Amino acid sequence: MEIRTDSGGAGRFRGGCGLRRDIRFVSSGEFLSVIKKTRSAPWALAGGLSPEPNQVVVFPGTDREARVSTRRTAVVAGDRVSLLTAGGGGHGDPGLRDPEAVRRDVAEGYVSAEAAREVYGVDVDG
């Protein structure tokens, strides 16, 4: 399980990040996905940005890769599924976030250097 970098909504007060959990099947069977909010992201407020929504990715990195919400899928040993939870919505204009907070976010893996530059206007490489 790991934090999903850039999954929280940007804002003066950044939304919390979602999580990624990968499942590898050790035998054949079926995987049943029942997840909501895969098409609409949680809300943002006061000029903040919406985060990424929930996602279930079956067979990631293969030619069978698909994003699903409610679906029954046959699996065999070695197949993988990634569960990606939504982040929280941002609050306020991202350009008003304290640059030191953005640098901490990058150092801790919550925000990428690219998003720091493009969304928050903070260059963390220089």
Reported confidence tier of residue 104, pLDDT bands at 50, 70, 90: very high
Residue ranges per structural domain of the chain: 2-118
Residue 102 phi/psi, 5-degree rounding, is -65, -45
pLDDT tens per residue, range 16-64: 999 999 999 999 999 998 887 777 888 999 999 999 889 999 888 888 8
Over residues 114-118, the mean pLDDT reads 96
Predicted TM-score (pTM) of this structure: 0.82
Element (H, E) at 99: helix 99-107
Cβ proximity of 86 and 53 under 8 Å: yes
Which amino acid, residue 21?
R
pLDDT tens per residue, range 60-89: 888 888 888 888 989 999 999 999 999 999
